[in-house]
Amino acid sequence: MREQAAVNVIIQARMSSTRLPGKVLRPLGGRSVLGWVVRAAAATPGVDAVVVATSDAGDDDPVAAEARRHGAEVVRGPLDDVLARFLLACERHPADAVVRLTADCPLHDPRLIAQLIALWRAQPELDYVSNTLVRTLPRGFDAELVRVPVLVEQGHEPPGPHREHVTSGVYADPERYACAGIVVAPAAGDLRVTLDTEQDWALLAAVVAELGDRIPDWREVVTLLRRRPDLVVLNADVEQKAVR
């Protein structure tokens, strides 16, 4: 019987966000934003380890401490080279594939993450699986799985946007890499529950006030926002930063 492939979650986190510095350590409900993400990752079936990849800058010492407080492993590397941090995490915590999460999405749903892992374990020839190739979920539930050998390949590519965005060189090259996506219906890609601005913070605080300090089902979040246009309007004008 073939041994099950190992899958780790790597959460990228830093204090020096350009639009909302320190956002990952803001208290939301009963824990920090980063604490929400670590909790969701740890609750995901099929995950072997949860690793927070932060920078080696002194400003990120509190990020490392908070990650450890919530039970995550920690690796630290270059502030401006996120891919290098991911490769360091893969070296120190070996796995066959990793799930990439960002620490500014506190409402991550373990069920969605588990779907990516299940799909890849059923079709391990896939290089990349995500729920963002065709956006049908609210921004803030984004999750990507990529095979570790593919990340290593990306590490040998010439400098480019993938050093910051990690996977952009993979999903943008479907001729080279086998990619698959998960979609949901009805689509809710017009909604936004990620944290990048004060407007986003107002919406997230309102959602948590309604749903409580627990891991929500993504459908609960969508239902709440469809029922409460007064919440949706809080961050409706926020533009997502482009991948450059």
Structural fold of domain 7-232: Spore Coat Polysaccharide Biosynthesis Protein SpsA; Chain A (3.90.550)
pTM for this predicted structure: 0.95
State pLDDT tens for residues 194-209. Answer: 999 999 999 999 999 9
Domain coordinates in residue numbering, the chain = 7-232
State pLDDT tens for residues 168-224. Answer: 989 999 999 999 999 999 999 999 999 999 999 999 999 999 999 999 999 999 999
Rounded Cα distance, 74 and 71, in Å: 9
State pLDDT tens for residues 112-147. Answer: 999 999 999 999 999 999 999 999 999 999 999 999
Average pLDDT for 152-180:
87
Please classify residue 30 by burial: count the beta carbons closer than 10 Å to its beta carbon, then call 0-12 exposed, 13-18 middle and 19+ buried: exposed
Rounded Cα distance, 121 and 129, in Å: 11
- pLDDT at 162 > cutoff 90: no
